[in-house]
Amino acid sequence: MNKTALKAILICLGLGSTFVSQAQQSKNVLWYKQPAKEWTEALPIGNGKIGAMIFGGVAQDRIQFNEETLWTGSPRNYNKPDAYKYLPQIRTLLQQGKQREAEALAMQEFMGLKSEAGDKEAWLKEIEKTRLNPKGPAAASFNDKAWKGFYVPTYEGWETLGLEGLDGALWFRTQFTLPANWKGQDLILDLNKIRQVDYTYINGHLVGHSEGDDVKRNYTIPAKYLKPGKNMVAVQVINFIDKGGISGYKDTTQHIGVFPKGKSVKEGISLNGNWKYWVQDDNPPAPAVYQASYQPFGDIYLNFKHQEYTNYKRELDLNSALAKTSYSHKGTNYTRTYFVNAPQNTLVIHLEANQPKNVTFTASFDSPHSQKSIRKIDDRTIALDVKVKYGALFGESILHLKNKNGKISVKNNQLVVEGADEATLMLFAATNFVNFHDVSGKPSVKNQQTLASAKNLDYQTLKQNHLQDYTSLYNRFSLSFGGNSREDLPTDERIREFSKTANDPALLALYAQYGRYLLISSSRANTQPANLQGIWNHLLAPSWGSKYTTNINVEMNYWLSEMLNLSDLHQPLFGMIEDLSKSGAETAKNYYNLPGWVLHHNTDIWRGAAPINNSNHGIWPTGGAWLTTHLLEHYAFTKDQAFLKKYYPIIKNSVLFYKDFLVVDPISGCLISTPSNSPEHGGLVAGPTMDHQIIRALFDGFVNVSAALGLDEDLRKEIQTKKQQILPNKIGKYGQLQEWMVDVDDRNDKHRHVSHLWALHPGNEINWETTPDLLEATKQTLKFRGDDGTGWSLAWKINFWARLRDGEHTYKMMQMLLAPAGKSGGSYPNLFDAHPPFQIDGNFGGAAGIAEMLVQSHTSFIEILPALPRALQTGEVKGLKARGGFELDFSWSKGKLQKLTVKSLAGGNCRLKVGTLEKDFKTEKGKVYTFDGGLQKL
């Protein structure tokens, strides 16, 4: 049967659209010739609740998994009572230009509360006994033969070399031989940085003690402490939280070591290398922390007697969300298929061979959590129990086995399969988390319910349910670019090739679909929103807690949701906004004595809304306003009146806070936001440009939606007036858009944040249509800042340059985002975005940027192909969304639009723009309108 006949039959069965989409997207596959060695080479799968990373090893396969609600911490009050009493004084100090004094006062009186700490002093006194023992580990004569070896230094912490989750008191020892010509000289011992506290000894003599990650350990060794021949260096490292160890230098070419005074380590003795270590006490008191961290759950290990193999392939098919590992061993072909089924909330691993009775393996659990246990439930089921250290949350995961023929058993808490034709493993995971103030859930009950609903389903049914669910989301959109493609190359090689030639348009289509795949896999209805790493994390101490940074990162995670036809996956963020409107109301009262709700630059699963970390960047009061614009954007794209009515009170309460938060600047007479900062740049200030842009956008949105609902006319008029009084955007002396009230921008400043361009993107205040002068100023700012940046920074700049209609520069930035991960930005072999380390926001932001090259609808027009680069002169897209409630399909060739189809999802007026051509017409809900390249109706 030919494809035309098959397509006709499928259309009759109601499956035609699925056939077309899958046919167009059949090559959206990540694939590799070798197993993953590093976590950032493994392939991600997920369903919003369970995430897993597939390594695809042959003799041993690792499947590292997460459950969305396993975090550190517990429900608590994050707010400092009556902090608002210090607000006037902080504002006055900023007005007087006394930034340091304002930051110091704010640090003391205006930051959020940390969690309760354990008894640190008692613990330190206990571990001190070993340190003060003259025959203890500091002594040169101490026998350390039983100690294990460990490479030193580790800049990113000892966790990077296997000591994951380890905190407490550790000892490190090494030796160096004193050169004869150094006799009688004082030496310098340069260890640079140590995380967090050290007591450093030479031959039993204390030569240095420091506290703090950023303190340089550069200690003098008096000549009298040295001896001919071997000299012993012993360091007690005390680490209470996060990364630990002797860090050394970020530039690993610079070694730690010893050398005579006046010389350098290059002229001395390097101490880089294998030291011995001993864990004295790995149970330090609970640390006081501002916010919680997202946690890994555990690992599944599959062990096989397959040492030699051929025909290896590891892949992730985005069209089906199926990961596979395949290879040949002694004449038998083996295949493993992995997916996370959303309808049954089950991680599925299916193992098969093309010869009967050849599936033989063991399956076991492990976890990085120190509080863990593994147990047998029955002859085909084992369980892993974990508890988060110093936290309220605990969880259970169940691994259940189904087999076809062969023999199965549980031995030593491992599932054993011998001589089966095929086998299916099903993983279930749950925690006691109910919501941000309730941890009374029973994970075992949840898992038994899930197991009961899934265990009687065979593999094909589980797979079919998964495909039906996943493709209902994924197949809404398709994208293809003409020109050369390097789909014949493994993805890791393809990334390297693209960074050299940029001659692979299909890689951008793959990247856009990968972004959609990651959102489908990490953000589903009634789940937590995608965090800094989506739903994937393997570290107990992940960078930035893998939480929700609200001064760019969590918002960027959802930029693609509306445009790339995944509107309903925006819901988890809306759920978090609902929670934050409650916790943020307490913060608004405690910190500003105001109605409404507020959020600063970070939050977590417990929905902390208070300022955290440091007053020079943590007091940023417009996180709530930015999140609220996501509610407004969803309405702009969908025109969903029921949605608007539901969330209107949250929008209104956000507006009520900022209405009263703004104060009059005595110099300009305008309303300004103070205290605040331009995210992570420039310290605590009054009146940062970004704040005013976001608040104006919030006020504009409120005016529009309140009018649409016919509500709050008096408040609407007040807000319209207030908006006009906010300090406007300013163009500085270099022609740049000013970042602050005063013109102090530095043309040589290359900071990763370019926050004051928010009004260019994702806002719309600065645009070609109404503010061309400000648009030119944003371009000047971008030129000053330069193209380099961390992963998410590159992604934001991609969207900036697309809004500036500069397709060539946009494509250049895409090439940088898709370069192999380095010291700054790029992509890992599995296409995860590199900050570095991994942050998923760059994936989502980059996918959104590709869409911005093709369609922009933030002004009064829907503009088609506004920033098309020469490399993408031919292509076709289906299912792209535009504001106003429109869905677009179109194709282009040689850079010119060929055909455009507009589906009206809400009715209303539609204004199209292609180059200099414009089309303005009324639409009816549900109707489709088709045009040629000249916007003539077909």
Q: How many domains does the chain have?
A: 4
Rounded average pLDDT over 643-671: 98
Tens digits of residue pLDDT in 841-865: 999 999 999 999 999 999 999 999 9
Judged by average pLDDT, the poorest of 104-118, 398-412, 479-493, 697-711 is 479-493
d(CA 422, CA 408) in angstroms, rounded, equals 12
Q: pLDDT of 597-640, one tens digit each?
A: 999 999 999 999 999 999 999 999 999 999 999 999 999 999 99
- Name the percent of the chain lying above pLDDT 90: 93
Q: Residue 484 corresponds to which tokens in the numbers above?
A: 């050369």
Residues 157, 190, single domain; the answer is yes
Task: For residue 88, tell me if it sits in a domain.
Answer: no
Q: Are residues 653 and 751 in the same domain?
A: yes
**Is position 79 within any domain?**
no
Token pair 């005013």: residue: 692
Residue 186 makes CB contacts below 8 A (sequence gap 6+) with: 220, 221, 222, 223, 260, 261
Q: Mean pLDDT over residues 305-318, rounded?
A: 96
Q: Residues 510, 580: one domain? A: no
Q: What is the DSSP string of 439-468?
A: ----HHHHHHHHHHHHTTS-HHHHHHHHHH
* Distance (Å, whole) CA 721 – CA 405: 76
Burial of 313 (0-12, 13-18, 19+ CB in 10 A): middle
Domain membership flag for residue 109 = no
The 10 Å Cβ neighbour count of residue 95 is 16
1 pLDDT higher than 80: no
Q: How many residues does the chain have?
A: 938
Residue 242: its pLDDT value, please? Answer: 84
Statement to judge: residues 673 and 721 lie in one domain: yes
For the chain, what is the mean pLDDT? 95
Rounded to whole angstroms, how far apart are CA atoms 555 and 833? 16
Q: What radius of gyration do the chain's Cα atoms show?
A: 29
Do 344 and 251 belong together in one domain?
no
Give me the pLDDT at residue 24, please.
Answer: 39
| Confidence at residue 69, expressed as pLDDT on a 0 to 100 scale | 98
pLDDT over threshold 80, residue 395: yes
- Angular region, 711: left φ>0, alpha ψ -120 to 50, beta rest: beta
Q: Over 90: is that where the pLDDT of 14 sits?
A: no
Q: Give the tens place of pLDDT for each residue, 863-903.
A: 999 999 999 999 999 999 999 999 999 999 999 999 999 99
Q: What's the pLDDT tens digit per position in 743-799? A: 999 989 888 899 999 999 999 999 999 999 999 999 999 999 999 999 999 999 999
What pLDDT digit, counting tens, does each position of 433-455 carry? 999 999 999 999 999 999 999 99
- The answer to whether residues 43 and 131 belong to one domain is no
Tally: H helices and E strands in the chain = 20, 42
Do residue 780 and residue 872 come from a single domain?
no
Q: What is the end-to-end Cα distance of the chain in Å, rounded?
A: 32
Residue 626 or residue 213, greater confidence: 626
Residue 90 placed within a domain: no
Mean pLDDT of 518-527: 97
- Give me the pLDDT at residue 482, please: 82
- Structural domain includes residue 113: no
Query: pLDDT grade, residue 503 (50/70/90)?
Result: confident
**Burial of residue 665, with CB atoms counted within 10 A of its CB: 0-12 exposed, 13-18 middle, 19 or more buried:** middle
- What residues make up the domain containing 261? 120-281
pLDDT in tens, 92-139: 999 999 999 999 999 999 999 999 999 999 999 999 999 999 999 999
Average pLDDT over residues 521-542: 96
86 lies in some domain:
no
What percentage of the chain exceeds 70 in pLDDT?
97
- Work out the burial of residue 156: count CB atoms within 10 Å of its CB; fewer than 13 is exposed, 13-18 middle, 19 or more buried: middle
> Mean pLDDT over residues 257-286, rounded?
95
Mean pLDDT of 576-603: 98
Give the span between the Cα atoms of 612 and 619, in whole angstroms. 7
**Does the pTM exceed 0.75?**
yes
Strands in 855-856's sheet, in edge-to-edge order, are 855-856, 862-864, 908-914, 917-923
CATH code (residue 640): 1.50.10.10
Residue 18 pLDDT more than 60?
no
Name residue 112's amino acid: G
DSSP annotation string for 790-839: -HHHHHHHHHHHHHTT-HHHHHHHHHHHTSBP-SSS-B-TT--BBSSSB-
Residue 99's SS3 state is helix
What's the CA angle centered on 694, arms 691 and 696, to 5 degrees?
105
CA distance 64 to 640: 39
Please tell me the number of Cα atoms within 13 Å of 253 on its side-chain side. 0
37 and 167 together in one domain: no
Could you tell me if 470 and 517 lie in one domain?
Answer: no
**Cα–Cα distance measured from residue 826 to residue 813, given in angstroms and rounded to the nearest whole number:** 10
Indicate if the pLDDT at residue 22 is higher than 60. no
CATH assignment at residue 433: 2.70.98.50
Looking at 281, 315, 330, the residue that finishes a domain is 281
Query: Do both 248 and 338 map to the same domain?
Result: no
CATH assignment at residue 217: 2.60.120.260
pLDDT digits (tens, 9 = 90+) for 143-176: 999 999 999 999 989 988 989 889 999 999 999 9
Q: Which pLDDT belongs to residue 485?
A: 80
Assess if residue 752 is contained within a domain. Answer: yes
Domain-located, residue 27: no
C-alpha torsion sign, points 558, 559, 561, 562: positive
Per DSSP, the three-state class of 7 is helix
pLDDT at residue 751, as a whole number:
87
737 and 846 in a single domain? The answer is no
Same domain? 825 vs 721:
no
